[in-house]
Structure 1
Amino acid sequence: MTLTVKDLSGGYGQLTVIQNISFTIQPGELTAFIGLNGSGKSTTINHLIGLLAPKTGSIVLNDVSMVMDPIAYKKQIAYVPEQPVLYEELNLEEHIQFMINIYQLDSAETWEEAHRLLKIFRLDDKLNWFPTHFSKGMRQKVMIVMAFITNADLFIIDEPFLGLDVIAVNDLLALIDEKKAAGASFLITTHVMSTLRAHADKFIYLEDGQIAASGSMEEIKDQVPALLIGEADV
């Protein structure tokens, strides 16, 4: 799996938010997007998942272009948004079955994996619960389970640690490492590097809609505001 983003520029209507963004993500690689609010992280994500059309540039995943074949492109991606999006009329079991149907997954094998993940995130006794009964953190866990039961080549996760308790954060990081070892790739946005420091292969620092620095922690830390790194890492 290789994601190639080349000279990507775009935004909302006449407003250009990101300019000339170029990067690649290789199989089994985790790239972390960092930057202050308004730097262009979410706008870039919205282009990568197809919510926004590029003004210029290209997005290609496994030789499949977002513009030329958006359906085939999107089938390779699992996305976890910053704010959980669940259907209020569906219970947890129905949400999982919905994902199985959408991604055309093997039902028996996927349910076996779903039960494993539900147990990890302590949701295994809540299959009959509806979203109205879930806390913010529990909704986030549901979104994570729904994404991780897929066979996606690329996982795009926007601020995954917000709302999660410490145990859930560690469980998620373990699952990320597990998927990486199997060849899946990740693009994760975060405001603080320290949580991902031991797991990310590369950091991309966005500033004013452009890539201001990229590379390992050691390569970019002198170019990134200390508040993004954390006092312990400076």
Structure 2
Amino acid sequence: MMEYTDKIKALQQKAGIEADGVASSKTWLHIYYLLFSSVPYDINVDSIIKVIQQKINVRADGYPWTKTWDVLYKLLIVESCADDFANFSDPENEKMLAMMSPEARPFAKELIYLSARKGIHIRIIDKTIDSNFGLSFYVGIFEKNKKGELVYVDKSPNYAQVAKLGEFIGLTYDQNSRVFNSFPKFEIVPAWSIRMNEEEVKEELSRRKMQNLKLLAIF
């Protein structure tokens, strides 16, 4: 059986912070961001834990008991993801994933996996993975034609479903940003940027990239 400290480490890895297995206030802040795609206004740790517990439908007492970690792990770290993902392997996606930034890759991979579980085949679109400091990417939905070939689908109600899946794992869906005909864009918005304007965010991302610092980390 997996120890709860290992589950904490897995959640920390997903959040892009040091995976030490310690449920620090920083860890809870990042878990909150994964669930809500925003930072809490009340930064009291007990309050953050209670809000998270309410979100995942466990006893909201502010105490991080085992059940809390079990549910968080189930929601945010898809069990057997690596084995199941192999069933949805697509050479085009494998090529694009290998080229993506380390910050965006796990989000893109999980979005592909979760979409496939819903019967939706998506692909990461070429020539878009380096935009926005590597923190954004575009996807397209592909379906099999009569010959069994995967072809791009321009309009589909499944795009709304993919958007919801992306938001569930902490991505921001930019419905107004469409390139190469109509590929929807997903963005990873750093939690530390919540009170910055666009220019300030770009300056900070540039500084971190030049100094080889983690783009999403909260220092």
TM over 0.5: no
| Higher relative strand content | 1
TM-score relative to the length of structure 1: 0.32
Instruction: Give the TM-score normalised by structure 2.
Output: 0.33
- Larger relative contact order (Cα-Cα within 8 Å, sequence gap ≥ 6): 1
The structure that is helix-richer by fraction is 2
